[in-house]
């Protein structure tokens, strides 16, 4: 385990023009693969889905030239979706159970699609948002990506991100501090532009005559996730947008019920999405310029529903919910002259299907344990699935409680639980999505047998997955290894109830870590502001505790040197104690001397 390493509509229509009948795939073809995912862009955040306000000509055209899967499902929130996308497995199996509070670390023992592709000669790169662990052995470079450029934590400027971004709350999306192959760098410009530039650079450098092997690029935009920061050009584009009183309905309620804050958020989100749309135009133009469209599979999807109130194409609820508005997203597969244009596959599919599908397109046989299935036969028209299978969805803060935010879809029916502990099974709702895609009518009374069967499946799945080995023994950051000499402990990986107040100076948490070398170490604590008063610095790891007094209140960083720790698994705690209170650092640097 410890040794594991690793512009617009007319133009784009011409760009993506292809014949309507897919050609037979060569058995030996190994296409380049580009997997693009955006963050918090909902199903309704596309002109394609009849949003009358948003400008997305590139993505709309890409969709019309693609084979699309609709409905396509993901998890209700970020990190769970990403772990399933990378492994073909339900997120709880991978050790991921939340977006922070220590729940967004994926076990290093998981085999990712990047690892398998790299083992078969692919050049692999990840750019943007990782959100599956920032320290060894969970970084992208430890999970199969030979190159990566990413921010830390779950979002640029959040408490779990680089301290330099966190301290610039009003401008963190511009000129951000990023991490490139384990080294801190700073790039100039707007984050989505930066990530696209890097993606284009990677594609170009791996398409020369000397580049004999195909590439796999995972481009994960962090936009339009909060904070809703965007270039002025895109902010101005939507500055005067107003929803009318009868513009469209969303699950029986008018969008006009949005307050001014919701309206401003929608304006900014649409600007961020239009920026991504323009960047997708640049990316697709690069493929054409390099002459590699015919041998490049492009996949586009988003990670969950919208965070804020806005147009959802009628889907019920939003991000964090297992209702359709939280988990149903756009999904497009574009491969010029290989996949049929403007075709929609209506077989319900999900993020767990992405890894087996991509490996199938790459011609790679893989016998690893996956929950998903390959969609390649349906996408290429070789086989149309007629068998209904069950897809499961769950998320809660911390570990999931039975029925609190759980669902199972099988065929036309979907059973949803959004209950509290002690409520009866009558609170579970059954929807017929074929006749009621907006989940407005509970048909439990008319379909008692269907409800009972799905509830039994959901119960069995929950009891199995809640005791997954990587969930019972959660992933740990490793300190003292040769692969990461300085480990930065950020608040995204903090654990404990008070760690959920992650932006507060007086919050408190601990880290699950493993020491593989006793040291000595230096430990530096970085605080958001100067220390409030004279007090004591304290560090506790296992049964070893260190402390010393401090009287300097002008400093915001404080260090201890020559600390020894015991090998093995420990809880790591560090804090400053003064005026009867506890003050926690924003991040902690642990360096082996």
- Boundaries of every domain in the chain: 30-379, 477-592
pLDDT at 243: 81
Residue 490 has which token pair?
Answer: 């950020």
Residue 158 has which token pair?
Answer: 């959040």
pLDDT at 155: 97
Residues in the chain: 593
Whole-number Å distance between alpha carbons of 450 and 461: 17
Q: Which CATH architecture has domain 30-379?
A: 3-Layer(aba) Sandwich (3.40)
Bridge partners, residue 539, by sequence? 546, 574
DSSP-based three-state secondary structure for 533: coil
pLDDT at 411: 96
> Global pTM?
0.94
Structure-derived torsion over alpha carbons of residues 225, 35, 122, 176, reported in degrees to the nearest 10 = -20
Whole-number Å distance between alpha carbons of 243 and 265: 13
**Do strands 429-432 and 568-578 pair parallel, antiparallel, or not at all (unpaired)?**
unpaired
pLDDT at 425: 67
C-alpha distances in angstroms, 429 versus 77, 102, 425? 21, 32, 9
Q: Which 3-state string (H, E, C) describes 409-436?
A: EECCEEEEECCCCCCCHHHCEEEECCCC
Q: Which 3-state string (H, E, C) describes 128-156?
A: ECCCCCCCCCCCHHHCCCCEEEECCCCCC
472 CB burial (10 A radius; 0-12, 13-18, 19+): exposed
CATH classification for the domain delimited by 477-592, as one of 2.60.120.260, 3.30.300.90, 2.30.40.10, 2.20.25.90 = 2.60.120.260
The tens place of each residue's pLDDT in the chain, 593 residues long, gives: 444 433 334 334 444 444 344 444 444 469 999 999 999 999 999 999 999 999 999 999 999 999 999 999 999 999 999 999 999 999 999 999 999 999 999 999 999 999 999 999 999 999 999 999 999 999 999 999 999 999 999 999 999 999 999 999 899 999 999 999 999 999 999 999 999 999 999 999 998 765 679 999 999 999 999 999 999 999 999 999 988 766 777 776 777 678 899 999 999 999 999 999 999 999 999 999 999 999 999 999 999 999 999 999 999 999 999 999 999 999 999 999 999 999 999 999 999 999 999 999 999 999 999 999 999 999 999 887 778 999 999 999 999 999 999 999 999 999 999 998 877 667 899 999 999 999 999 999 999 999 999 999 999 999 999 999 999 999 999 999 999 999 999 999 999 999 999 998 889 999 999 999 999 999 999 999 999 999 999 999 999 999 999 999 999 999 999 999 999 999 999 999 998 899 999 999 999 98
577 CB burial (10 A radius; 0-12, 13-18, 19+): middle
Whole-number Å distance between alpha carbons of 147 and 155: 20
Whole-number Å distance between alpha carbons of 145 and 118: 8
pLDDT at 209: 60
Whole-number Å distance between alpha carbons of 177 and 40: 22
Whole-number Å distance between alpha carbons of 43 and 343: 18
The continuous run of DSSP H or E covering 577 comes out as strand 568-578
């Amino acid at each position: 385990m410890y040794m594991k390493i690793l512009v617009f509509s007319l133009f784009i229509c011409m760009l993506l023009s292809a014949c309507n009948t897919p050609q037979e795939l060569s058995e030996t073809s190994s296409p380049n693969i580009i997997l693009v995912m955006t963050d918090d862009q909902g199903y309704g955040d596309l002109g394609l889905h009849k949003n009358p306000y948003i400008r997305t000509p590139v993505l709309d055209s890409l969709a019309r030239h693609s084979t699309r899967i609709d409905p396509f499902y993901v998890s209700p929130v970020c990190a769970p979706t990403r772990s399933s996308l990378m492994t073909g497995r339900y997120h709880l199996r991978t050790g991921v159970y939340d977006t922070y509070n220590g729940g967004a670390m994926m076990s290093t023992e998981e085999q990712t699609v990047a690892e398998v592709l790299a083992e078969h000669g692919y050049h692999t790169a990840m750019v943007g948002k990782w959100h599956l662990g920032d320290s060894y052995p969970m970084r992208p470079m430890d999970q199969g990506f030979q190159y990566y450029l990413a921010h830390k934590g779950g979002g640029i400027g959040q408490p779990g991100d680089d301290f330099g971004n966190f301290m610039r709350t009003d401008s963190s999306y511009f000129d951000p501090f990023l991490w490139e192959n384990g080294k801190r760098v700073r790039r100039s410009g707007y984050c989505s532009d930066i990530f696209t530039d890097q993606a284009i650079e990677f594609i170009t450098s791996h398409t020369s005559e000397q580049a004999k092997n195909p590439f796999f690029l995972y481009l994960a935009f962090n936009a339009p996730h909060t904070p809703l920061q965007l270039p002025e050009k895109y902010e101005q584009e939507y500055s005067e947008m107003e929803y009318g009183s009868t513009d469209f309905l969303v699950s029986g309620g008018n969008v006009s019920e949005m307050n001014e804050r919701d309206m401003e958020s929608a304006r900014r989100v649409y600007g961020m999405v239009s920026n991504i749309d323009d960047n997708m135009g640049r990316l697709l133009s690069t493929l054409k310029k390099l002459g590699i469209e015919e041998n490049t599979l492009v996949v586009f999807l988003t990670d969950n529903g919208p965070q804020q109130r806005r147009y959802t194409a009628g889907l019920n609820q939003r991000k964090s919910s297992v209702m359709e508005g939280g988990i149903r997203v756009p999904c497009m597969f574009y491969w010029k002259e290989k996949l049929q244009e403007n075709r929609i596959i209506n077989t319900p599919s999900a993020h767990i299907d992405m890894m087996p599908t991509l490996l199938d397109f790459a011609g790679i046989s893989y016998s690893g344990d996956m929950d998903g299935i390959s969609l390649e036969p349906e996408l290429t028209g070789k086989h149309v699935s007629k068998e209904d299978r069950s897809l499961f969805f769950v998320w809660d803060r911390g570990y999931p409680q039975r029925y609190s935010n759980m669902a199972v879809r099988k065929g036309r029916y979907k059973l949803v639980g959004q209950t509290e502990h002690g409520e009866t099974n009558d609170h579970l709702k059954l929807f017929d999505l074929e006749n009621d895609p907006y989940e407005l009518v509970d048909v439990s009374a008319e379909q008692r047998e269907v409800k009972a069967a799905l509830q039994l499946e959901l119960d069995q799945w929950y009891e199995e997955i809640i005791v997954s080995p990587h969930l019972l023994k959660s992933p740990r950051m490793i300190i003292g290894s040769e692969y990461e000499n300085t480990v930065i402990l950020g608040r995204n990986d903090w654990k404990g109830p008070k760690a959920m107040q992650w932006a507060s100076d007086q919050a408190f948490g601990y880290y699950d870590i493993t020491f593989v070398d006793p040291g000595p170490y230096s430990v530096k604590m970085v605080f958001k502001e100067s220390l409030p008063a004279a007090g004591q610095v304290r560090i506790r790891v296992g049964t070893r505790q260190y402390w010393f007094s401090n009287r300097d209140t002008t400093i915001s960083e404080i260090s201890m040197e020559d600390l020894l720790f015991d090998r093995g698994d420990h809880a790591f705690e560090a804090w400053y104690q003064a005026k009867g209170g506890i003050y926690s650092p924003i991040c902690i640097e642990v360096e082996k001397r």
